[in-house]
Structure formats: structure tokens, C-alpha cells
Structure 1
Amino acid sequence: MNLHAKLLERAEQGRPIRVGLIGAGKFGSMFLAQAVSTPGIHVTAVIDLRPGVTREHLVSLGWPLERTAASSIEDAVRSGGTFVGDDALAMIAHDGVELVIECTGHPIVAVDHCLASFAAGKPVVNVTVEADALCGPLLARRAAEAGVLYSLAYGDQPAMACELVDWARTCGLTVIAAGRGHKWHPDYRSSTPDTVWDHWGLGVNRESAAAGGLNPKMFNAFLDGSKPSIECAALANATGLQAPVDGLAYPPGGIDDIATLMRPRAEGGVLEAKGLVETISSIRADGTEIPYNIRPGVWVCVEAESDYAQRSMREYRIVTDPSGRYMSMYRRWHLVGIEVGVSVASIALRGETTGAPRGFNADVVATPKRDLVAGEMLDGEGGYTVFGKLMPAAASLAGGHLPLALAQGIKLVRDVPRDQPLRWSDVVADESVTAYGFRREMERLFASA
């Protein structure tokens, strides 16, 4: 409750938190639009592949033109301005940056940036949740070994759901399930960048998407279920919750239905067991929208185990399941990059993450959208060839399955039918990339644990 007061103290002391951001896309831009006016935070460097375009973009976000004129990070520290460049590793190594925000959205590159930051003794806010789903448990371990923090990004749904889980457990409530909302229909599983705008809704069509510069592959990663699986994997690994054996079920429901849906099947709910992650659909099977849904939000379902707690809920007119034993808490909206400053402040001022992996409970496995044939090249998350399926980590390791984040630009060596999760033996992986070796190391560690 006092992060803002602590930020004001840092500002008054002339000791702002010096932040380096890698990747000025949509998520990064949302943070930058807020950071320019947040006391106690100084973005000393913004790194992007197109520095000239990024400078112009910062002005469009409301930054004064002179703020982007620093000729170096040293100059930015002296002047209070911001250096815009394209060398992420040089920025990470510079003493003028004390905290790194990884915001590229590219999991293979993100692993390199995280490891470089740990080597430089700097904490990381990892916005690239795909990298966390790929190898977050080992990244967190490496950060701890280096004496720094590795954190999920506040504002993104996994960290917001982690906060709700932490709230529930701090109140002495048993967490039955937690997750996010989504617009889901089984037909979306095979969606491609060519079809995403046919289903997305929210007033977006091909013309408005093109005019707004929206990336159809990125948005399709949400629609086809890849992104919900990735974010639920991050949530499971950070909270100790488990993945459903058969992947996400996407039961349809509104906010007041959460407590009834998120019960064990034996009690009338959809869960195979207590203590799972799940995603609730905002539409019914016929495609109609459910009023007061949780599509852009997060939720936790808890159990009140004592008679007294259950009676208290009735007395305060709390919406529960029919038995009065289960209730939910939720946050209907997440503000994405606008809220990342909470992670920055929490790490720098409290020495606390806003969610971080503490085990390897869940994995996201590349799964064909259609029958694939030997010789085809996989095109990764949100593309034409595969989607990401949530799976218990133990099952993924036992089956030798291929993580979604590495199913990009690699070739199939055998035919694989639709919906059969891919295995390492089905592809020729690029063993030269750091993320490949890092993931394989994590698999060995947790297989023997």
C-alpha cells in the first residue's frame, strides 16, 4: 500500500530507479507512456531494433522531444533523459541501469537477455511470458544463484492471478483453482493469422486491424489457445497449482458462475481435482456472449472450510456456489503494460517479485493444427502449423514433448497427425541457440528431481 510513497522518497532523494527497457512494442509502449510521469522511476535506456523510429514513437506517447536526446546512457544518467539505442547487451552491462525489463516477445532472445542480466547482477522483469513457460523455473534458479530477482510482469494476467492466489492464502483460504478469462470455441484451435479477425470480436475486423497495425499472428496466439496455455503454465509454476491432465477445458461462464464451475466434478463443477489452473470462456457453445464475463480479467476460486466462514459469507451476501462452500475473487480487467511500474517498484523498493516460478508443474507443448508432413517448417506460436497445449510438466517430460517456444523455424522429420503433441524426435532442433540448451538442462534437472 505504500509503493508510491517510497517512489516519492526516491525522487526527493535524487535516487530514482534506473530502468532499461528492451523492446518498445505495444506492451513496452504502455509502460513507457506511464513511466515518463511516474516519480522515482527513470528510464535511462530504451533498446529497440529501430532506434530512429522508437524516438519518434516516444514523442507520440507523450514524451518531450528533448527527453529522448541523450547521446549515451552516461548522458541519460547526468541529464535525466533517455538513451535510445539498439544494443541490448551493452545496455544490460552498463552501470547506469539497475533493473532490466525484457519486453521483446521473442522467447529465444529473452532467455539470452535474462541470463546476461543475471551475470551483470541485475534483476529482470520478464514481460516475455513465453520464455517463462519455456524455462522460467531454471531462470528463477539462476537469478537466485546470482543474488538477484526474476519476476513476472505486473499488469499481465499471470502476475495478476498470482496476486489473487497470494491474497487468498494469506487469508487462510484454500485455493481450489485460479486462472484467467478468454473468448473460446473449439473451432478456434485451428485458427490462423488469415482467420483471426473473423472471430476476434471487440469491433476489430481486417480493415481496422490493418489500419491499427495489429499483428495477426500475435493476436491469433490468443485466439487459438496458445497464449492462455502459456499464461496458465506461468501461473501454475509460480503458485504450485497444477495443470489439468487433458489441458484447459475453457468452461463457459460469467463472473457469478466462477464458484460453481470451479469445483471438483464430484460436487458439480468441472475440475478433475482441487488445486488447478483453468481458463473460463466468455462465450457459450453457440457463440453468443455471456453477460458480465471475465474475458479480460483474472480470478481465484477458494474454499471456506469452516462452518463459521461459510456462515459469514452468507451473512455478507457473498456470491458462492450452491453449497455455500466455494466463492471467488476476481479482477475484471488487467491494464497490461500500464501496470508494469508496480513490478519495478516492488523489486527495487521491497526486494519482492510480483510472481516468479518456484517449481516446474506445467508445460506448453507444440501441437499440430492440421496433419503435418515431413519436411514442413514449423512457424511457432500463433502461426499456421501448431498451437500450444497446456500439459502437466511430468507428462511432458515423460513423453519427450517439444515446447511451443522452440517450435519456430525448425523442420519436421516425420508426419504428425493433427492434435498429437509433437516430440523432440519429430524435429531437427537448432542446438546452437542458448535457449535450446538451457531448456534441455532444465528438463534434466527436473526429470531427476
Structure 2
Amino acid sequence: MNLHHLFATAEAGSVRYALSGAGGGFARTLLAQTLRIPALRPAVLCDRDLPRLRAMLGELGYDTTRLADCADAAEVGRAARDGHIALVADGALLGAADWDILVEATGSPVHGYAMAKDALLAGRHVAMVSKEVDSVAGLHLAELAAQSGLVYTTADGDQPANLIGLVTWAEVLGLDIVAIGKSSEYDLVLDPESGTVTQLDTTVEAPGLAALLDLGDGVPATLAARAETVSALPVGATADYCEMAVVATNTGFMPDTELLHYPVARIAELADIYRLREDGGVLHKAGAVDVFSALRLPGEASFAGGVFVVVRTGDPETWETLRGKGHVVSQDGKYAAVYLPYHLMGVETPVSLLSAVLHKRPSGGADPRGHAVLAGRARRDLPAGTVLDMGGHHHDVTGVQAVLLRDEDTPADIAPLYLAAHTTLARPVAAGELIRLDDLADADAGLAQAWAAGRTARPAVTA
């Protein structure tokens, strides 16, 4: 598709956006790219640390004389009338400026939901970057948007929107999709000479892994052996589960297992690994969403947290031709993998904003449903009074293992993980038990209502 044709009518400054969590990493990538796109401009930016935000904008090349720190609605309105960018610390002030779409990037379930809801009720579109918000309140926000003819969408540049786009592309082409997913955020880089594996800034001994670079015919056995050699490294980031929950609600693909498979895999092996079990792969059934840990050698290209689909090949001759051109086809010729080895964060998000405002088309699914739930199991016995703090690496909830449950396996009283985050337990939860709504003493009432309303308004559609 030629995107110049798609957005040919966009005039300078025709799409104005508000941005919450404006001092964060994702926001920076969007703000940097905005400077290169005449049709797009920020109207109001919200962050708790305005001095840091102002300094960042200066580094990016924004005219600091046209940045206005605003403490109330009148100041926001005045900044907008003067053509300045309003900077606010209070999300309640976002609505005082005139703009078309909110980019919600706080990562805060409570505050992000409140700002997104206010935007929709005021007749403005929402691009949801905060997967934590989406995993709890996304269905309700989508329903609010639908009722008012507005767009509520995931944002290009994050894996959920990119994967949804790849899935819909494959579906339009009539490809028979068996599995979809992404790589985990950080590759496993094997140094065969030293016998070590490095993940981001952590290096561990993995003396047997070099001998396991060939997947062989016994796929499950090889994957189990690889997993054992890298067991000192963490597997299963909470952020991955959250992103796949968002994908599930927007596509209907569901987890094959609640912890996902997380195979340690080379890119060329994806079509062999994500086969059905009767064909030698890991899948119990077709229609799975999953995550893999990308294994590579130093100097080899990264999957870069990108996304993939695995399809049944159909005509053997067609796919043997494609195998010859370097495409990833399984050893038996029955499956193939198609992938996008990138996600560029806010660098890609302008496409979502232009599409939503100019054409009222979402980057995400058009009809999200409650196909899967991001929930939590206690990692250890959690006594009453435990505070489920959220923090650490990739938004883990202290003492809780993220799990992704298929809709049919989800108890009616389940507490979604990011509703439970930051709450206090009203009663003890034993190790291995799911956290339920009644376990929470002080869950945010608005977020809890949004969760219930979304599940009621947009239940999963069974075939």
C-alpha cells in the first residue's frame, strides 16, 4: 500500500494530539518523529516531571519559547490560542486544549484509564500505548468509542498493533494461520567459543548450547534441552503476557498454554516449532498466540522484538519456490513463517494517528472481544495485607506470576493482573492460586467497573 496516497489530503497541522506519559521512552520516540511530519503536531503534553519534559523537548529540537507550563485550565486554553504546546502535570487538564486524539502512554492502569475515558466522552479518539490499561479496560473503552463513532486503537510501533496488522494482512490473503506471536524483548546471544549466552547485560555459562544449534527431528526434546542450558536467565516477561492479551482480544487467537511456550528458537526454525504436535511441533491446537526467545550468534541480525505468523502452506510447489528464495518453510513443507523483525515504537505511531483522525480507521482490531485474560497466580503464599506492588523489570507484580488464560478457562470472578496491581490483599492467597476479585481489599472502583462492563458488553464470540 502506498501511504502517500492514503494520507495525501493531510494538511500541515491537520492532526493535533495530546500525549500522556510524555516524558517516557515511547513518548520521546513519537515526539522526535513528529518534528518530521508537517501534518502532525502535539497540542498538550502531560507528565509529572515538567522540568524533565521541557529539557527533553529542548534536546529534540522543539522551540522552548513555545512551550508553556500550565497549572490550570485557563492557562492551557491560553497556550493553545497562542499556538504554544501546553505542558501539564495533571491529566485532568488535558481536555482544556483543542486536539483530535489522545496518545495514552503512562503505563498506569488507573490514571491511563481515566484519561482515555475522559477523551472518549469528550468526542476525541484514543491511541492506547499503555498495554496495562488495555488489558483491563480496553473492551470497555472500545465500547465507549463505538457508541460515539470514535476510534479506540492500539498504536503502530508497539508489537500488538504490528502483529494485528500482520495477522489481518495474512487473513486478507487467505493464508491458513496456525500460530501468531512475537519474540521476547531481548535476544539470547550465544558465543560458541566461550560457551556463554548473553541477554541484554547478563552473561551466563551455557556450555551445552552450541551443540544444540541444530533443531533436528526431535523438536520438543531439543527445545527442552536448550531451555535447561539457559535456565539461569529469566523467561516470561510480564510485558509479553500483557501484549499477547491485547493481541488475543483483537484477533481471537488464544494461548496454547497459560505460561506460553517460550521456545528458545532461531528465526529459521519458527515454522518447524509452531507446528501441531502431531506434525512434530509444540502446539496442541491451531489458533495460538505465543512468544519465543530469539537465539542468535554474535553478529547475526536480531529479531528485534518483532512479530510473526505461521501458516499452513497449501500448494507444495508454491512454497518450495519460496523456500528457494530464502523464506522460512518447515522441513516437512507443511508450514511456513512470515515475520517482521522490528518494532520501532513511536517512530511508527504517526501512521495510527493519521489513520484514526483522517479516516476513522483503527490500527488494532475492529471488534475486540474477551478471548483471553491476563491474570496472576501467587508465586508463594501471600498473607492478607500483602501489597501487590508493581515495579521492577517490565512491570512485574511482586509475588505474582502473570498467566494468560483462555476465555473458557477463566473463572467469572478473576481479577485481571493490572487491576490487582497496587492493591492490598483482603485475605490470604496460597501459592499457585489465581487472584480473584474478592481477594482485593482496595481495587480502584472505576477500573473495576470498566473491567466488568467490558466483559459484559464484548464477550468472546464462540464459533
Q: CA offsets, 1:211-232, max 9 Å, x none? A: xxxxxxxxxxx96521111101
User: Equivalents in 2 of 1:80, 1:325: separation in Å?
Assistant: 58
Q: Is 1:403 aligned to 2:416, yes or no?
A: yes
The answer to whether the Cα contact below 8 Å between 1:9 and 1:40 also exists between their aligned partners in 2 is: no
Out of 120, 123, 126, the residue aligned to residue 122 of structure 2 is: 120
SS in structure 2 at match of 1:300: strand
For residues 393 and 255 of structure 1, do their structure 2 counterparts lie closer, same or farther at Cα, with a shift above 3 Å needed? same
Q: Is 1:152 aligned to 2:148, yes or no?
A: no
C-alpha displacement at 1:32, in angstroms? 0.8
SS in structure 1 at match of 2:404: strand
Q: Superposed, which structure 2 residues align to 1:76-155 within 5 Å?
A: 76-92=79-95, 94=97, 96-155=98-157
The answer to whether the Cα contact below 8 Å between 1:397 and 1:443 also exists between their aligned partners in 2 is: no
Name 2:21's counterpart in structure 1. 23
User: Equivalents in 2 of 1:403, 1:179: separation in Å?
Assistant: 21
For residues 227 and 200 of structure 1, do their structure 2 counterparts lie closer, same or farther at Cα, with a shift above 3 Å needed? farther
C-alpha displacement at 1:415, in angstroms? 3.1
User: Equivalents in 1 of 2:69, 2:54: separation in Å?
Assistant: 11
The answer to whether the Cα contact below 8 Å between 1:92 and 1:100 also exists between their aligned partners in 2 is: no
The answer to whether the Cα contact below 8 Å between 1:180 and 1:279 also exists between their aligned partners in 2 is: yes
User: Equivalents in 2 of 1:90, 1:414: separation in Å?
Assistant: 38
C-alpha displacement at 1:65, in angstroms? 1.6
C-alpha displacement at 1:418, in angstroms? 2.9
C-alpha displacement at 1:7, in angstroms? 5.2
Q: Give identity over the alignment, percent.
A: 28
User: Equivalents in 2 of 1:231, 1:75: separation in Å?
Assistant: 38
Q: What is the one-letter code of the residue matched to 2:400?
A: V
The normalised TM-score by structure 1 is 0.83
C-alpha displacement at 1:403, in angstroms? 0.9
Q: Is 1:279 aligned to 2:288, yes or no?
A: no
Out of 364, 369, 372, the residue aligned to residue 379 of structure 2 is: 369
Name 2:62's counterpart in structure 1. 63
User: Equivalents in 1 of 2:401, 2:250: separation in Å?
Assistant: 23
The answer to whether the Cα contact below 8 Å between 2:143 and 2:457 also exists between their aligned partners in 1 is: no
The answer to whether the Cα contact below 8 Å between 2:371 and 2:459 also exists between their aligned partners in 1 is: no
Structure in which a larger fraction of residues adopt helix: 1
For residues 265 and 47 of structure 1, do their structure 2 counterparts lie closer, same or farther at Cα, with a shift above 3 Å needed? same
C-alpha displacement at 1:250, in angstroms? 0.5
User: Equivalents in 1 of 2:185, 2:431: separation in Å?
Assistant: 22
Q: What is the one-letter code of the residue matched to 1:61?
A: L
The normalised TM-score by structure 2 is 0.81
Q: What is the one-letter code of the residue matched to 2:441?
A: V
Out of 415, 418, 422, the residue aligned to residue 431 of structure 2 is: 418
User: Equivalents in 2 of 1:54, 1:293: separation in Å?
Assistant: 31
For residues 290 and 437 of structure 1, do their structure 2 counterparts lie closer, same or farther at Cα, with a shift above 3 Å needed? farther
Q: What is the one-letter code of the residue matched to 1:386?
A: V
Unaligned runs of 5+ in 1: 186-198, 206-221
The answer to whether the Cα contact below 8 Å between 1:416 and 1:422 also exists between their aligned partners in 2 is: yes
Unaligned runs of 5+ in 2: 188-196, 204-233
User: Equivalents in 1 of 2:101, 2:186: separation in Å?
Assistant: 37
User: Equivalents in 2 of 1:79, 1:276: separation in Å?
Assistant: 51
C-alpha displacement at 1:90, in angstroms? 3.3
The answer to whether the Cα contact below 8 Å between 1:227 and 1:388 also exists between their aligned partners in 2 is: no
C-alpha displacement at 1:443, in angstroms? 3.5
Q: After superposing the two structures, state which structure 1 stretch, 293-302 or 353-362, moved more.
A: 293-302
User: Equivalents in 1 of 2:9, 2:456: separation in Å?
Assistant: 46
Quote the RMSD (CA, aligned, Å). Answer: 2.9
User: Equivalents in 1 of 2:55, 2:421: separation in Å?
Assistant: 31
Query: How many equivalent pairs are there?
Result: 412
